[in-house]
Amino acid sequence: MANMSYCRFHNTVQDMHDCFNAMAEAVNLNESMELSDDEQRAFQEMYNLMSDMMGMMDEVTQMEEELAEEADNQPA
């Protein structure tokens, strides 16, 4: 089921922590995660999406900072 817009990022970051912890455990133990074919495809898709998201997040952050600065410079 899709996340509701009001908790989309909150719910997703919890799932990302779960994925991160699974990867960290495999790295710490120097073991393979032994993913199924479907999970391996999802892993690769997540990697690609996260790479794209990093650029997008930088753009959104910059835009929000500029908007906040404009709002701060507006006469009262």
User: What torsion, rounded to 10 degrees, do the Cα atoms 49, 55, 61, 66 define?
Assistant: -140
Q: Give the model's confidence band at 60: pLDDT under 50 very low, under 70 low, under 90 confident, else very high.
A: very high
pLDDT at residue 46, as a whole number: 95
**Mean per-residue pLDDT, 25-41:** 94
Q: pLDDT value at position 1? A: 61
CA distances 76 to 62, 65, 67, 71, 72, Å, are: 24, 19, 16, 10, 9
Q: Domain residues of the chain, as ranges?
A: 1-34, 36-76
